[in-house]
Amino acid sequence: MRVIRVGTRKSQLARIQTDSVVATLKALYPGLQFEIIAMSTTGDKILDTALSKIGEKSLFTKELEHALERNEVDLVVHSLKDLPTVLPPGFTIGAICKRENPHDAVVFHPKFVGKTLETLPEKSVVGTSSLRRAAQLQRKFPHLEFRSIRGNLNTRLRKLDEQQEFSAIILATAGLQRMGWHNRVGQILHPEECMYAVGQGALGVEVRAKDQDILDLVGVLHDPETLLRCIAERAFLRHLEGGCSVPVAVHTAMKDGQLYLTGGVWSLDGSDSIQDTMQATIHVPAQHEDGPEDDPQLVGITARNIPRGPQLAAQNLGISLANLLLSKGAKNILDVARQLNDAH
């Protein structure tokens, strides 16, 4: 029986996400065996520094990519938002699974259960490790103070509950749901309060770009709507040259053959921002048989079983919106944010 080796981070959430992908693959390929190999990444080890300060794009992916490169694993399951928009040569995202709720959620300290960010007392401290969340929320809720909090989900919840430092923390709804912690979600933030990170809520399966066998194996996991939304989001971010160290956020929706993409950039304190929305006519395609063999990747993604036209249209939408924001002065906001972040 052929054994497919699957790489993952060691955290409980990463294991749950990987197990769900492996369960789907097992159901599709009962003749194959799957072995899960867990490892720690740089991002898991450096816990005393804000993510945006470490200055490394592949924080949660590098060690896993080394294992792929050395042929120790055949595929790796990631949170798509951890995967840079430009992957190292030789790798590709071979599948993007159906997205869960992409919005951010607020988890409150037990003594503030029933509150919202708006009704928290003046100068309450809210924990988030994300510049994107802090910039948007500072602008929206000036009476609150935002402070960095690191660690996996379990660690952050423990810090919230057991220490008196934080009144609330902001986490991805999808992660809380996958962990089965629906009861801790005190408030879900809507796009007008806080837009989400590129790819948030979706899982990406990274493989060796030339490993046709494995590409075919995982390609069936592609969810066409999630794929097109994430291509647009990733193209927007790549064209802006955004990353962990600048506040960039998006919101996408697919409705009646239209893909809507809203994107924004913020200064670190949220005082300055540029946002806009564009749309393109894109019909969500059914999967079809393999296209030409020489398909290049789009924003790091290979999806041969999804028609090429809609993928290119989604990519062009992302690039067009980035250009619109750049024409309105986005580069200046991002450059200043980058410099300030590096200086602190």
What is the C-alpha separation between 214 and 94, in angstroms, rounded?
A: 8
Asked if residue 215 and residue 180 are part of one domain, the reply reads: no
Instruction: Write the CA distances from 255 to 197, 280, 282, integer angstroms.
Output: 21, 11, 9
Asked if residue 130 and residue 56 are part of one domain, the reply reads: no
Asked if residue 116 and residue 71 are part of one domain, the reply reads: no
| CA neighbours closer than 13 Å in the CB half-sphere of residue 52 | 26
Query: Cα 29–200–6 angle (5° rounding)?
Result: 30
The CATH number of whichever domain residue 316 belongs to comes to 3.30.160.40
| Domain end point (choices 160, 188, 216) | 188
The pLDDT value recorded for residue 290 is: 52
Please determine, for residue 40, whether its predicted confidence score (pLDDT) is greater than 80: no
Highest mean pLDDT among 48-62, 103-117, 288-302: 103-117
The pLDDT value recorded for residue 55 is: 47
Asked if residue 276 and residue 158 are part of one domain, the reply reads: no
Q: What are 147-196's pLDDT values in tens digits?
A: 999 888 899 999 999 999 999 999 999 999 999 999 999 999 999 999 99
Q: What would the mean pLDDT of 43-61 be, rounded to a whole number?
A: 50
| CA neighbours closer than 13 Å in the CB half-sphere of residue 198 | 28
Helices (H), the chain: 12-28, 42-45, 51-54, 62-69, 131-140, 153-162, 173-178, 212-219, 224-240, 308-327, 330-343
Interacting residues of 244 by C-beta distance below 8 A, sequence separation 6+: 51, 52, 54, 57, 59, 131
Asked if residue 263 and residue 114 are part of one domain, the reply reads: no
For residue 193, is it within any domain?
A: no
User: 0.85 cut: is pTM over it?
Assistant: yes
- The helix/strand/coil state of 311 is helix
Looking at the structure of the chain, the number of domains it has is 2
Q: What are 211-235's pLDDT values in tens digits?
A: 999 999 999 999 999 999 999 999 9
Asked if residue 111 and residue 93 are part of one domain, the reply reads: no
- Percent of the chain, pLDDT > 70? 90
Please determine, for residue 51, whether its predicted confidence score (pLDDT) is greater than 50: no
63 pLDDT tier (thresholds 50, 70, 90): confident
Please determine, for residue 57, whether its predicted confidence score (pLDDT) is greater than 90: no
| CA neighbours closer than 13 Å in the CB half-sphere of residue 140 | 18
Q: What are 69-121's pLDDT values in tens digits?
A: 999 999 999 999 989 899 989 999 999 999 999 999 999 999 999 999 999 99
For residue 272, is it within any domain?
A: yes
Q: Which domain holds residue 70?
A: 3-101+198-343
Asked if residue 218 and residue 179 are part of one domain, the reply reads: no
Please determine, for residue 49, whether its predicted confidence score (pLDDT) is greater than 80: no
142 pLDDT tier (thresholds 50, 70, 90): very high
Q: What would the mean pLDDT of 320-331 be, rounded to a whole number?
A: 96
| CA neighbours closer than 13 Å in the CB half-sphere of residue 315 | 13
The CATH number of whichever domain residue 162 belongs to comes to 3.40.190.10
Please determine, for residue 58, whether its predicted confidence score (pLDDT) is greater than 80: no
Query: Cα 124–129–206 angle (5° rounding)?
Result: 150
For residue 14, is it within any domain?
A: yes
Asked if residue 168 and residue 252 are part of one domain, the reply reads: no
For residue 262, is it within any domain?
A: yes
Please determine, for residue 56, whether its predicted confidence score (pLDDT) is greater than 50: no
| Domain end point (choices 188, 215, 237) | 188
The pLDDT value recorded for residue 10 is: 86
Phi-psi map region of 7: left, alpha, beta (phi>0 left; psi -120 to 50 alpha): beta
Is residue 295 annotated as part of the catalytic site, yes or no?
Answer: no
Considering 82, 104, 211, 223, which one is annotated as catalytic? 82
